[in-house]
Amino acid sequence: MKFFGVYFIIEIILLVVAGRFLGVWLTLFIIVATSIFGVLILRLAGFSTMIKVRQKVAQGEAPNAEMMNGLLLGVGGGLLFLPGLLGNILGLLLVLPITRKSFIEYAKKLLNKYKPAPNTTYTNSPESAYSKVEVIEGEWERKDK
């Protein structure tokens, strides 16, 4: 919750500073134009991601890259849609293909860092470390009826 409070304070400060340097009307125009651009990006990203994912699935492949690309485009479009200059800058970085690739590489590093060990099993097989539970067999009957 502290992050959102700090984020909105920074956004307000940036809007006031931009309004002083660029003028109120140009600042408002930038905010409205990037909001419209964000909505267009959200619509196009959704359709293009859906088509690419369907093609990959039809080929029998996992659509990992397409899903990550679509996720970052959606987040970038959402940030562009929200009013504020910091969100617009972050949104543009996520929408531009050159910078989006570096975000994808960073996300891959994070995911590889936290993925489970290759020999970890989550089955109920007897040799599994997770299945060493003592089971007591028996019969029972309900006495309340």
> Could you read off the pLDDT of 89-111 as tens digits, one per residue?
999 998 888 898 898 888 888 88
Q: CA 76 to CA 89: how far, in whole Å?
A: 9
- What's the confidence (pLDDT) of residue 70? 85
* Mean pLDDT, residues 35-60 taken together: 85
**Whole-number mean pLDDT of the chain?**
82
| H or E segment to which residue 25 belongs | helix 24-58
Identify whether the C-beta of residue 88 lies closer than 8 Å to the C-beta of residue 30: yes
Is the alpha carbon torsion for 13, 85, 99, 43 positive or negative? positive
If you count them, how many residues does the chain have? 145
- Is the pTM value of this prediction over 0.85? no
pLDDT at 121 over 70: no
Phi-psi region of 84 (alpha: psi -120 to 50; beta: other; left: phi over 0): left
In this prediction, residue 48 has a pLDDT band, given cuts at 50, 70 and 90, of confident
